[in-house]
Every structure is written in structure tokens, then in C-alpha cells.
Structure 1
């Protein structure tokens, strides 16, 4: 496992900066090219999403709203809870600013990729010329091949294969891992049991295809977002006086960071920017090429009409929900606080580190035994036990933290002996948190003043479960469209079987390994996609200008009213 982590980290180091430059650069270029479409057409996007322009006679499998909620179910997920926490844990509050930048530019990128996916989608028809249920396939692999020409077929195939792998990891294993970790942290339920349960739920839903997925997500997505946002909003109201200072800290540390709790020291601007952009991409998926697959199934013959719906996603996902999470973390002070926890030395998130919060922590590579006296290392600022790559101040032998540890810890094997020769496997200490447990701590602290700390834990737990399961469900559709593109319809059922298995596997693997694998997969699919968007930008410009000059939604509104009168809606 350690070798795998080293390899993954090396690949990430190569890909992360091309990803950041490609993502932000493409978003800025498209924003200017399309005349700031994400700001000028935001209102029209909301209008189309309401369904007032839906025409049931147009080709496709789902409504504009169902396509939006399916895509939102994939984007509004653990990235909003665990991803924001991870970004601030490592990059500091300033990382949230770079998530905003990614989202605002990403709105133009999301608009572009969905419009092109609609333009070049594949719609099969029967002998009567009518589209049959589940027949629509679309996404970057189609606009790369059809928009750029047959010579680009290998690139399209690479994208489809990489996104299929991404569906196993980012859209599936990460979700399962977050749920399993959160349930274990809350109730002590073994991760394999949680993984088995959620894998079963996902399997039952995805076997029903896009129609069932669309129906489920159109209910689950709005409900889960409403519950989480309501809880966060209540906390912010209770901490309203701290919000201005939180914004000041976010903006100031975006360019002059003090670094996160687990960062590598003060002034690490690139670290803060990197984690903000990476987690922003993970959260809203703009430029990744996944959401266009869901939007391709929308019932419309106007590509731009679905593009304006799609640009709502980064706005809802990052500008609204991620911001609320970030503000809760900063205003409650949870991101730099410690809380009681059991420290199992065999756990993947426990390691031997050296350094300090001011200078940053790194993994200790030495082999000498570490001596503790009264709970703290005898060598002062030297090597010590750390959790989530952050050194622990004091170790105790009992849960009440009344018996400090005195003895030695082997740095290489983590073997522990107390001063009287007893073997210890688990310590107790106040430690920092990260990922979903950190957001849980923030909600507990935020609602404790009104006696609802336990409710805060419950809100995050339920949100994590609903977010993660709905994200996995939506990502299964992305992956099966890629499998269909590469291998035909015969590959869809085997893909779904592997997808369910990977959901279970993700639940039991180390959290850091899962997230790092997800970042590699994100980079592999994003780079060819943003290249295609740049090359097809003249087509985008033409489609956009034509749509807003012709105003076809006026005619569609009449068709919608007629269909409603006839009982077809």
C-alpha cells in the first residue's frame, strides 16, 4: 500500500499543475469568448430548469430538470462536505477563494461542454423515427470524435476509458469511503458492513437505467441539499458576527496564506491555490466532462437550452453550498480545533511525523525509537505520533485522558511499550479532524449554543449518506455510457457489476489513497476535454449567438402549454 501511495503521489505531482493551468485558462478563455455567458444568462438558465419550456415531443430521455438533478446529484456530494474540509485542512481558509474562482470560470466551461454534448450526441431511432427510451448517448467522447474529426478517435477513446475509471474511483469509491468513515466515526460500525449496505442500494437503483436514476435523483437531490443548507444557514445566523472576519481571512489568506493545519508552512500560496482548485473541480466537476453525459439525455433539440441549465451547477454546488460549508468551518473555528479521538496506531491516518503547525509537518523517515514521558515526547519538537499528518500534543492510555503515556514507540513498526512493559495498540488524545468528520465537528460546535450539537452531527451524517449514494448512482450512468461507447451495449451490465464491487472496495480502503487516486483520474479526463473545448470554441460561439438571436424558447413555451392541456405532461 505504501508503494502504491508513492506512485500515486508522483503521478499527481506531474499532473496537478497542467490541470490547474488548463482548467483555469480554459474557463477564462471561454468566459471572454462567449461574452461572460455565465453572468448574462444565469436567469435564463433558471427559467429553463423550471420546465416552462419543456416540449415532450423533442428527442431525449429526461426533462431539463431531471437532467439537472441527475448531474447535481453527482456534483453536490461529499465534495461539498468532505472536499471543502480537506481543502481548508491542508490549504487554509484561503483555499475557499480558489474554489470560488474555479466555480465562476467553471460555469462557462460547464455551459460549453454541455452545449457541445447536446450538439454531437448520438440518438438512436426506431423504424417509426421515434427515439426509444435510454437511447441517447453523449459526452466529450462524442464531440471529440464528431466535432474534431475521425483522426481524434483515439483521444475520444482515451477520454471514455479514463472517465470510466474515474467513475469507479472519484464518483464511486470516494463516496463509499466517506460514508463508511463517517458511520464508523459516529457509531463504530465496521466499514465493510456500511460498504455492503450502500453497495446494495446503489446496485438496485442503477439496474433500472437512466429513467429510474432521473426519477430518484429528482427527489433526493433537492431534499438532501435543502436539509444540509438549512443546517448550515442556522449555524451562520448564530455566528453572524463572525462572518465578516471569516471573509477577511478567506480573501487575505488566498494570496498570503498561513497554510492549513496540515500544510507545509506559512506563505505557501501555491499549496493553497492548488488544493482550492483541485477540490473545486472535484466538487463541481466543471471541465471534467462527466456532467455532459447526463445532460445529453435531456429532451431538447436546442443544445444551448441545456447548456444554460448546466451552468447553474457550479453556482449551486460551489458558490452556494461549498461556501456555506467553508464559512461554517471558519466561523466556528473547527478547522483548527482539536477533539477527543481514539488513536489506533495501525490506522492508515496515523503516522509518525515531525515539525510543527507553524513550520508544517512531514513524515518522519528515521528509525529510532521515540521516548514519551507524561504523554509528550521527551525530545520536545522532534518526531511524534500524528493523525491526518498533524502532530498530536499529548497521548493518553484511557478514554477520559487522565493517564498520560510514558514509554517508547518504535518509529518503523509503531510497536509500543509502556514504562512497565505493557503493549499498547490504541491511545486517546485530542486531535484535529479532516474530511467529513471535520465538518461534523463544525456542525456540532455551531449548533451547541442552542443545545443541538447532536442534531448537527445527525445532519452531516444523513447528508453524507444521501450525497454519497446519489453521487454514486449518477456516476454509474456516466460510466456505463463510456462503456457503451467503447464496447457497445453488451458491456453495460458487466460495467454495472464491477461498479457495485468497486463501491464496496472503496469503503474499506485508506481514505488518503482513495482521494489521491481520484485526483489522478480527474486530471486524466480533464486535460483532453479542455483541449477539445478550446478547439471547438468557434462552434460554441456560433451556437450561442444563433440561439439567443432566434429565441426558440418562446415557441417551446407554447408547445409546453399545449402538451399540458392535452395531458401529456
Structure 2
């Protein structure tokens, strides 16, 4: 316990101080800050919010079936406000959350946190459902209309309109929008396009190295631009079709791989559960071998994957056509269920059974031949000739592309709040430049020291911004928790989900 408390409450501060004190370049400082903000304290903030809101909402997770049912139900636009369907809002948010973290992120958690990390990732997903419900609830409740009547919402409007201290609410709202708009360039643009291009470059299915990277970048930019320039309705329509197909394809294929290693499934589950409470490495070879590491990497990868608490999903969910805030909140919380409780869990089982079926992979982990989550995921999929690499390639390409689309809309909403609609087109141009740049940073280009350092700066800054989004968002959720609890009881537990919220939605006339 002493080691656990030291790791969570002392080590982050000493590590930050040492990192800054010994820094020899701005990159070193950014690395130190990145390690601090995504460290144990941030994990405790998010996990604490998850647990508190689970209690405050009366364990809203038990209503997951209602959320799934509502997600395929269209509210009549004649008695419900909004711009896109509830399902469209869900799939657009899922497009942003079901990304490379569901493949590479799970591999990272397993590699450094051991099999127990998968268990804690799953637990984080279950608890995070309550926070996702809560942040979307206030996002819809406090949404506004722009000059043309289209819906705008998210943590910034909840902070601005919901808090009694208007000055504090406004400051927190500006910070959230700033962090979100900057984070989109990294987590939503360059890192995703880089993963997409890297998957094409390194796949064993085709000679990806023969394809010019500028061509890959140009094609990806064109495919993204065609969709995002059409606005939220265009993005939601594409995501409504793409997300279910890609998710079902990936899950079914992973289940097939698990089936081929079926004799190891029981042992995989045993190691995952045992590793959550006792020191254990992945199939005997992972770097992670302590309960603390299992907790840290399980929570961190789970939170990073489903984004519960970061405040990203409400940016799109607030546009949904819904009778009242609770309906869309129930729909949106299913996103965390699908992302972490289902997809990440299946990826974890696929990786574990493959490790157990192929002991040489554990040996490669032990001797350092496999040293990254991407490397572990690639090695595991490559063990199934042709089929495995195909699943990995299709999964990474579609997951990355959908995430780019989802985050483009998050950035749109954030920059609109800060600078107005006139800033959206210039913002999109910069966003697309980052998409192109990410595609160029593979192969020999990524090996250049100067380019590698620049990439690290951009990605780490975006990672920091992504984490910092959680602070004002969690403040909004916790500060408005009494309202969330009271209205949840009315709408959900008192069976008033069909009631139309007739509260007037204010209209902003600035263009």
C-alpha cells in the first residue's frame, strides 16, 4: 500500500520537478509535463468523477439496455429540437472514440501493465458510463442555437450557463474550448493519419513502401475534406454507415481469432483476473509486473480509449434531435459500453490468447524485441496468416479515418465558441494540413532526428491539451451534479423519458 500511495501522490510531482530541472530542450519540458498530466493524479480525478457520478445517478449503468433501445429510435423533429438523429450523434462520437487506442492502446496496457490492466480497463469503462451520461446530459441541457438556428453545446456552454459564478464559468469555458481546439490537431488529425499511413506502409499484404507517402496523404486529405466540409449532417451520415460496419467487422474477426486459440481462452481470462490483484506479466513476459502498473495502465488506457470525462462526446451529442437531455445522455453513454466494455475487452482477449498460443511472442517481449503496444498488436495479428494482417490493416485504417472525422467536428465546435463561425474554414484548413503531415511521418521520414523531435512536440502538446480538457469538464460535471441527479430521477427513474423539455433554448446571433 505504501508503494501504491507513493506512486500516486509523490512520484508524479518529483518526476515533474526532476524532468524540468534536467531538461535540455523544450521537448524535455513537454515530455515531463505530459507525463505529469497523464499521470496518477489525472487518473484519480477521472476515476473519482466516474465513481461519484455512478453513485449520484443511482448507478445509471443499469439502464444501458434502455440506452441501446433509444439509440435506434428517432425522435419526431416536430416535438424535439436538434440537427441530427440520436443514432447519428452516437456514431459520430463513437467514430472519434473507437480509434487506434482500441488496438494499439490495449496492446500498450497489456505490455506495460500485464494482463491485469485489461481487467482495470474494463472496470474503468463500466464506471465511465456514468460520467459519459452526465457530461452529455448537461451538454444537451445547456445547449444554445447559433444565428442560423443550429445547435451548439458542450462543456463550455454548461459552464457558462449552468454555473452561478458566471466569471469563473466563462474562464473555465474558454480554457476547455482552447484545449479541445488544440488537441484536435494531434489526437484527432496527425496521430490518426500517421497510424493509418503506417499501417499501409508496414502491412505484409501489399508493398506499402512502394506507395509514395505524399499520395497517401493527398488521398486521405481528400477523403476527409469531402466529408467534413459538408458539416455535421454530412459527418453524421458517413459515421452512421461506417462505424457499425467497421466495429462489427473488427469484433467478429477478433472473435474468430479467439476461436482459433479457444483452448487458451480460460487461461487468458484467469490471468486477466488474477493479474488485476496479484503481480503478473503478460503470459510471463511483459514488462508490467506489479498491481500498481496494472491499475495505472488499465485506467489510463481505458480512459484514453472511451474519453469519458474529457468532454468530447457532448460537443456532437448536443446537436441530436431529442425530447429531453436524459434521452440523449442514455444514448451517448452506450458509446463507452461499446468502446471499452466490448471492443477493448475483445481485443484484450484476442491478444492474450494469441500470446498463450505462441510462447515465442512472450520471449520477444522479455528480450525487448517487442517493446511497444503497436509492435505487440502487429505481432499478434501476424500470427494468423493473411487473415490476421487483413483485420489489422482494415481495423487501423477505418478506425483512424473515423476518428479524424469525429475529432474534426469537436474542433469545429470548440473554435466556433472561441472565435465564431468565421473561424471554422481556416481551422479546417489547418486541421487538414496536420492530417497530411501525419501521413508523411512514416518510414525514412519518421527516422529523421529533427522530424522525430518535431513530431514528439506536436503529439505531446496535443496529449497535454487532451488531458487538460478533463479538468474544466469534470468541474462542470461535479458542479452541476445535483441538477443531473434531480432531473435523472425525474426523467429516468420516474418514467418520464417521453416528456418533452419545453425550456427555451437561447439563440446566439453572432455569425
TM exceeds 0.5?
A: yes
User: Equivalent residue of 2:145, what SS?
Assistant: strand
Do structure 1's residue 441 and structure 2's residue 379 form an aligned pair? yes
CA 1:224 to 1:4, structure 2 compared with 1: closer, same or farther past 3 Å?
farther
Alpha-carbon contact 1:61-1:136 (below 8 Å) kept: yes
Q: Deviations over 1:29-77 (max 9, x none)?
A: 01011110112x1111011111154445421110011111111111111
Alpha-carbon distance in 1 for matches of 2:135, 2:487: 12
Do structure 1's residue 19 and structure 2's residue 36 form an aligned pair? no
Do structure 1's residue 473 and structure 2's residue 495 form an aligned pair? no
Corresponding residue to 2:433 among 501, 505, 513: 501
Superposition map of 1:110-259 within 5 A: 110-124=132-146, 131=149, 135-149=150-164, 150-151=166-167, 152-186=169-203, 187-188=208-209, 189=211, 191-259=213-281
Alpha-carbon distance in 1 for matches of 2:288, 2:86: 46
Larger radius of gyration: 1
Identify unmatched segments of 5+ residues in structure 2.
1-22, 447-451, 501-511
CA 1:229 to 1:267, structure 2 compared with 1: closer, same or farther past 3 Å?
closer
Alpha-carbon distance in 1 for matches of 2:299, 2:212: 33
When normalised by structure 2's length, the TM-score is: 0.83
Q: Deviations over 1:311-350 (max 9, x none)?
A: 10111011111111111111010899667xxxxxxxxxxx
CA 1:157 to 1:276, structure 2 compared with 1: closer, same or farther past 3 Å?
same
Superposition map of 1:375-414 within 5 A: none
Alpha-carbon contact 1:336-1:432 (below 8 Å) kept: no
Alpha-carbon contact 1:74-1:472 (below 8 Å) kept: yes
User: Equivalent residue of 2:151, what SS?
Assistant: strand
User: Equivalent residue of 2:96, what SS?
Assistant: helix
RMSD: 2.8
Do structure 1's residue 324 and structure 2's residue 346 form an aligned pair? yes
CA 1:308 to 1:538, structure 2 compared with 1: closer, same or farther past 3 Å?
same
Do structure 1's residue 36 and structure 2's residue 59 form an aligned pair? yes
Alpha-carbon contact 1:333-1:442 (below 8 Å) kept: yes
Alpha-carbon contact 1:116-1:540 (below 8 Å) kept: yes
Question: 1:523 matched to which residue of 2?
Answer: 467
Alpha-carbon contact 1:441-1:457 (below 8 Å) kept: no
Alpha-carbon distance in 1 for matches of 2:320, 2:181: 21
Q: Displacement of 1:191 after TM fit?
A: 4.6
Identify unmatched segments of 5+ residues in structure 1.
340-356, 359-386, 393-430, 557-569
Q: Displacement of 1:254 after TM fit?
A: 2.0
Corresponding residue to 2:424 among 492, 499, 503: 492
Q: Displacement of 1:456 after TM fit?
A: 1.6
Higher helix share: 2
Alpha-carbon distance in 2 for matches of 1:220, 1:191: 25
Alpha-carbon distance in 2 for matches of 1:533, 1:7: 31
Alpha-carbon distance in 2 for matches of 1:271, 1:336: 24
CA 1:163 to 1:52, structure 2 compared with 1: closer, same or farther past 3 Å?
closer
Higher strand share: 1
CA 1:264 to 1:270, structure 2 compared with 1: closer, same or farther past 3 Å?
farther
CA 1:236 to 1:54, structure 2 compared with 1: closer, same or farther past 3 Å?
farther
Question: 2:449 matched to which residue of 1?
Answer: none
Do structure 1's residue 10 and structure 2's residue 27 form an aligned pair? no
Alpha-carbon contact 2:81-2:323 (below 8 Å) kept: yes
User: Equivalent residue of 1:332, what SS?
Assistant: helix
Alpha-carbon contact 1:159-1:528 (below 8 Å) kept: yes
Question: 1:425 matched to which residue of 2?
Answer: none
Alpha-carbon distance in 2 for matches of 1:88, 1:464: 18
Alpha-carbon contact 1:85-1:335 (below 8 Å) kept: no
CA 1:495 to 1:458, structure 2 compared with 1: closer, same or farther past 3 Å?
same
Q: Displacement of 1:477 after TM fit?
A: 0.5
Question: 1:426 matched to which residue of 2?
Answer: none
Q: Deviations over 1:218-267 (max 9, x none)?
A: 00001101110110011112222211211111122223333569999664
Question: 1:271 matched to which residue of 2?
Answer: 293
Alpha-carbon distance in 1 for matches of 2:465, 2:285: 23
Q: Displacement of 1:206 after TM fit?
A: 0.7
Q: Displacement of 1:97 after TM fit?
A: 1.4
Q: Displacement of 1:272 after TM fit?
A: 2.5
Question: 1:432 matched to which residue of 2?
Answer: 370
Question: 2:4 matched to which residue of 1?
Answer: none
Corresponding residue to 1:305 among 327, 333, 351: 327
Alpha-carbon contact 2:61-2:130 (below 8 Å) kept: yes
Alpha-carbon distance in 2 for matches of 1:261, 1:2: 38
When normalised by structure 1's length, the TM-score is: 0.75
Q: Displacement of 1:99 after TM fit?
A: 0.9
**How many equivalent residue pairs?**
458
Alpha-carbon contact 1:337-1:432 (below 8 Å) kept: no
Question: 1:419 matched to which residue of 2?
Answer: none
Alpha-carbon distance in 2 for matches of 1:82, 1:458: 16
Q: Displacement of 1:104 after TM fit?
A: 0.9
Q: Displacement of 1:514 after TM fit?
A: 6.5
Alpha-carbon distance in 1 for matches of 2:491, 2:399: 34
Higher relative CO (Cα under 8 Å, sequence separation at least 6) belongs to 2
